[in-house]
Amino acid sequence: MDSNRQSRSFRRSIRLRGYDYSQAGAYFVTLCTYRKACLFGEIVGADMQLSTLGTLVCQEWQRTAQVRQSVDLDAFIVMPNHLHGIIVILEDAYSARSQPTSELQPQRSRTLLSSSLGAIIGQFKSTVTRQARRMEKRDLVIWQRNFYEHVIRSENSLNDIRQYIVENPARWTEDSLYLGQAGG
């Protein structure tokens, strides 16, 4: 096994150990571009000006709730090299948590559930990448391997995060993801 492949298999998870990321709730996520490249546009004044790729990211993010009935979207912002968003996973009618198990119902597997936060983000990133490669007519690496998440546990926290998202473009040069690119 080559060293790159080996290091990937031993990466430590940044998720909460034992937490079920398919359960109903609100999640604040941040998805970064590969090497934090400013692919999605630039900040002009205090406004985000989307590039063609940034527009695609915005449209696909909004489409997430349309293609998944168990998902609602709250505040979000596409920034030059990342996306911040609040995803709300609704109680799912076919959830293994809400139904008793019997011999007729298969046990929940250890694989990624299609309604989990990881599966939702994975599908979103994959769709954006596939469409961008089709548009650009070249192989394009867009996303950093993982994503950051925070389980939102209170109304106060939700409101603070919403405010952070709305104010993010105006505070771009203070952002930990700001690398001093033009437009900042």
pLDDT digits (tens, 9 = 90+) for 55-113: 999 999 999 999 999 999 999 999 999 999 999 999 853 444 444 333 333 334 444 56
pLDDT level of residue 181 (50, 70, 90 thresholds): low
pLDDT value of residue 20: 78
Chain position carrying tokens 């998440």: 149
Q: How far apart are CA 71 and CA 68, in angstroms?
A: 6
Inter-CA distances, 128 with 52, 67, 125, Å: 12, 14, 5
Task: Express each pLDDT in 117-149 by its tens digit.
Answer: 999 999 999 999 999 999 988 889 999 999 999
Residue 168 predicted with pLDDT over 80:
yes
Q: How far apart are CA 85 and CA 73, in angstroms?
A: 8
pLDDT value of residue 73: 97
C-beta separation of 77 from 64 below 8 A: no
Q: How far apart are CA 28 and CA 151, in angstroms?
A: 6
Chain position carrying tokens 């700001």: 178
Which domains, and CATH codes, for the chain? 27-91+112-171 (3.30.70.1290)
